[in-house]
Chains A and B, each alone.
Chain A
């Protein structure tokens, strides 16, 4: 995923800060990665490289660790985060088909973020409302019985919202869509 303007400096500063505050040992790698991800929202390649350098372990080992645990993500969270449930109940009624529909509509694979960073797509296991299966969580809002037709509806709504937001907002790269979502 290519970095956006100013992001490189932000990543470097953030990794530097985390490395400065922690013991730089192999045993401490997971907390280091967690803290960096907490600050950046994901683990960009550049951050993994800098952590590897700082702790003096091969970069491929950082990559191995980050890909082993589900809690780490290598792609930035999209403006809209869609999580498709593939827990047993949802899977049984076609959660995988729902996921595929999103993949097609967003033109990305599960675990990825669209190049414009508008959408990211993930899979989750049981959201806790199996009676609504197949379940999808869109920006923390639970959507039930999401068939491929519903996927179209959800995408339409999201795109409309983006269109409005783009029209209202002059090109301004400030943060602010990260907090306060309902």
Chain B
């Protein structure tokens, strides 16, 4: 097997590690593709956020870049009418279940949703889909940080950090469909579980759902 694979993304020829997923190959070469749920070390990605679509020459539908391995000679476009439409819809759906108050949010100016909006010219506003307005109880039981599920994008980054990094096995997904949440066993407050407040999950959260209390705005 050769040491690298040659692919072209947006007319740029790059050399990447064989077996690498397209998303990471692009990101490591400073080519931006929106993403929330992808985890580099995860061999079987969840591919749940539906934001990382790209077009690959020879395939007539957009493909999730986090699931597709690079292949020699692959020609990729990060933008197309189809891709933009899919990403816009996925983004708007996410926002419809998001407590969108950036000025009050600890992640303001350091937020993956804001970055996606900026990169793709999307509006951080409730527009086509009216906000669902799910109500959640704030879990501020840990000393240093808090969990506000109204800002959670269900990316699963905290679950990975909690399991692979901290080996605490506290976080997981629960419920189905529109009631889906990231939570703990029986929805218990974190302080009642074996959470030792290593804060790896807080650092992993790409938005303002898990945040340090010292960064709290209101």
Contacts and interface: CB of A to CB of B under 8 A. Distances in A.
B61 interface: no
A61 B184 CA distance: 9
11 contacts: A58-B163, A59-B169, A60-B169, A60-B174, A61-B172, A63-B186, A64-B174, A67-B174, A67-B175, A68-B174, A69-B176
A60 B190 CA distance: 12
Given A58-B163, A64-B174, 5 more contacts: A60-B185, A61-B172, A63-B186, A67-B176, A68-B175
Contact of A60 (B172, B175, B176): B172
B169 A58 contact: yes
Residue among A48, A61, A64, A69 facing the most chain B CB atoms (10 A cut-off): A64
Interface residues of A, number: 13
A62 B183 CA distance: 12
B166 interface: no
A125 B49 CA distance: 30
A85 B139 CA distance: 34
A61 to B, nearest CB: 5
B171 interface: yes
Contacts of B186: 45, 63
A68 B181 CA distance: 11
B173 interface: yes
Nearest to A61: B172
B63 interface: no
A63 B174 contact: yes
B170 interface: yes
A48 B172 CA distance: 15
A68 B183 CA distance: 13
5 residue pairs, one from A and one from B, having the closest CB atoms: A60-B172, A58-B169, A59-B185, A67-B174, A60-B185
Nearest to B180: A68
Interface string A36-51: 0000000001001100
A64 B171 CA distance: 10
Nearest to B159: A60
A123 to B, nearest CB: 13
A3 to B, nearest CB: 14
Interface in B145-159: none
Contacts of A58: 163, 169-170, 172, 185
Contacts of B170: 58, 60
Contacts of A61: 172
A68 B176 contact: yes
A63 B163 CA distance: 16
Contacts of B185: 45, 48-49, 58-60, 62-63
Interface string B181-204: 001111000000000000000000
